Structure 1
């Protein structure tokens, strides 16, 4: 796959950026790509075919207007059957499918990009999502550096690094299902550097299995180990927040770099840049800002549980009446696929009547824009790391309801 076009050696560096194909991974990778573009990089951004179709369908502002010759979108299949619905793909299936099926089409894409007849600079580095380590193999094949971009925090990565030790000590896997509710998850883990009084329940939710061969537990351990073989690791965090953990990780990992909160950095870019480029898999509610404009400063509770969290009908009702009984203004984002077993989310007419003057419900929004609005006084969140960083960057206090994966350690 060597490229022999000598005339292109002086061209700008070319980063191929490939996120894990879910909303919470695409956006931070896009922001990182925008920042690199602002520093002179040619960018190829690789989406899954399914998600790219959804991005076009959602008509995210500015996404369709991208006519930059040096910021290109490409697609590869994710290995799952194509569907038409605007729903989050089953995350465990997506993790296993990308691991098994994406290397070959990604390799073919790199060959196409590096073809002598291509009008773009040769690939000089690959930046891959921390759980898309097949891209590391592709980088090795074409002889370029690879960088693992962790969209979670350093504490979560440190936990993942120590999962094999928890298995070695007999702490994992769980002995039986009762360990989830009998207090076993409150076991204190005191041997992880820089993380005192950590409880087992604060580890990634993939540990809650009784099967040592559990596919997701082994996926997390395998991807964490392989990511540590990259040329460098970038964390979406900042030193003041996780200084001690980052210092300890630097002793056992390749060079580490922190870059966050990302939106504070992209906000500093010039107007003529790609700073307004967004990628939302659901159509944004463009009227929510008008509604927020009508509310007093710091008077609105913003409620959004992200792109993956799902609720039971009972949980939906509890949250709804909690908001109603709070007597506070609220803006609540409820995805169309957010409630288990309910494709048509219908809230009681009594709730609608009680909150019609102080509540707004939408399917999706530009969260950064909402969090930066002066009317927002609190954020009721699932504690996805993007949400945490965006809330910190906007100075909005959080009410936390962690759901899965790294969200329990984020909450802490």
Structure 2
């Protein structure tokens, strides 16, 4: 491309958060925007390691170009096993690493689309005199909690009674202090991550628009409350229905295996790409599966033969299939799946709704406890693990409720209603399509 053509295009800077699963949905959004706005070029600023995992040599770099920001890691750094350490180094490097990377391009950017975590983008956008559009990759309830964090702290206090409810917040009377993410009213309030989220909540009301990977009908009271706090709140999800992943092979034969199982009979187990439950909980979960005799499909991170009870694989060979990876969206959409045993990350919750599958929830961190409480106590199509951790008896009880009781059938009916709402939202005249079209117009406006 000639320099003249390069400078005549509209350029949008995109700031990705390179940890957990944040960068992937942001890139999916940007690619969808680039398809709808062919005259706009997006520069995707991210760490080299994260970009390497996201982009391939076959990608269209003319529309979405990967750009590198400093990770903040010291020279010669070796990962020591603490997952928070690289995040802390990275946060210390912001916003200077993004400012430098933007300046190094020499391009006249006309807008910022960023992970919502990056509160400092508002100041950068003001300096550049461009609009700031943050993208929140989780659900509406965590977003409302972060936006209203100062009021919540005032009303509940810090480290107050865990059973206090948020009845003062519309749609949140079933939410308790204990369900809130760490760093809101308890835990490490002064950690770099907690401070970042606090500042995010304070800055989002000043954004030009806020996009969220959800749909308006999933939580209407909470969504309306958010609209009173945030200008141009745009629910554009479930984005995986708008921009499904490219063809994913099923090299481990999950779908063929499911084809041989009765309808709504299989427990699908997966804790995402980051989490592995502790050894004693893995053992308890395995013992429950073996004792219950329900068929199960387990997408397992690590060496199952070493991490699960001795002889478990052999004893359950006729009932279970354990694989290192499964095409999750396809699996959850299969009629044989009866329950999803999950960590309750937002992507997993959304995919379970799309599949019409009730959930058994074992949250670990971030907004997962809040998602679990919402799924169980507000929406009514899932169960929390008794006591908050996998035990043999607690897990067996939850599996039996969902897979072999009238209560479980009712949960399946309830999640089916949400599934229908999700698909309607992405119909040609659905709410998420209208919001996405508004976002495209906003991005292309000069």
TM-score range, shorter chain: 0.7 to 0.9
CA distance in 1, matches of 2:269, 2:77: 28
Q: List gaps (5 residues or longer) in structure 2.
A: 375-446
1:151 to 133, 137, 148: 137
Determine if contact 2:119/2:200 at 8 Å carries over to the other structure. yes
TM-score where L is the length of structure 2: 0.73
Paired position in structure 1 for 2:22: 25
Q: How does 1:9-408 map to 2 (within 5 A)?
A: 11=9, 13-40=10-37, 41-54=40-53, 63-81=56-74, 90-91=83-84, 93-115=85-107, 122-169=108-155, 171-174=156-159, 184-207=161-184, 209=186, 213-267=190-244, 276=246, 286-289=251-254, 291-292=256-257, 294-296=259-261, 297-336=263-302, 345-408=306-369
Count of residues paired in the alignment: 367
TM-score where L is the length of structure 1: 0.78
CA distance in 2, matches of 1:208, 1:231: 29
Q: Kindly tell me: are residues 80 and 250 of structure 1, through their superposed partners in 2, closer, same or farther at Cα, counting changes over 3 Å?
A: same
Determine if contact 1:202/1:408 at 8 Å carries over to the other structure. yes
Q: What secondary structure sits across from 2:178 in the alignment?
A: helix
Q: Kindly tell me: are residues 234 and 346 of structure 1, through their superposed partners in 2, closer, same or farther at Cα, counting changes over 3 Å?
A: same
Q: Kindly tell me: are residues 345 and 110 of structure 1, through their superposed partners in 2, closer, same or farther at Cα, counting changes over 3 Å?
A: farther
CA distance in 2, matches of 1:186, 1:332: 34
Determine if contact 2:133/2:210 at 8 Å carries over to the other structure. yes
Q: Kindly tell me: are residues 399 and 70 of structure 1, through their superposed partners in 2, closer, same or farther at Cα, counting changes over 3 Å?
A: same
Determine if contact 1:76/1:102 at 8 Å carries over to the other structure. no
Aligned-residue RMSD, C-alpha: 3.1
Q: Kindly tell me: are residues 51 and 6 of structure 1, through their superposed partners in 2, closer, same or farther at Cα, counting changes over 3 Å?
A: closer
Paired position in structure 1 for 2:382: none
1:374, distance to aligned residue in structure 2 (A): 4.3
Comparing 357-366 and 144-153, the one that deviates more: 357-366
Higher RCO, 1 vs 2 (CA within 8 Å, ≥6 residues apart): 1
Higher helix share: 2
Determine if contact 1:50/1:77 at 8 Å carries over to the other structure. no
Paired position in structure 1 for 2:381: none
CA distance in 1, matches of 2:328, 2:81: 18
Q: Kindly tell me: are residues 285 and 194 of structure 1, through their superposed partners in 2, closer, same or farther at Cα, counting changes over 3 Å?
A: same
CA distance in 1, matches of 2:88, 2:307: 34
Q: Kindly tell me: are residues 7 and 354 of structure 1, through their superposed partners in 2, closer, same or farther at Cα, counting changes over 3 Å?
A: closer
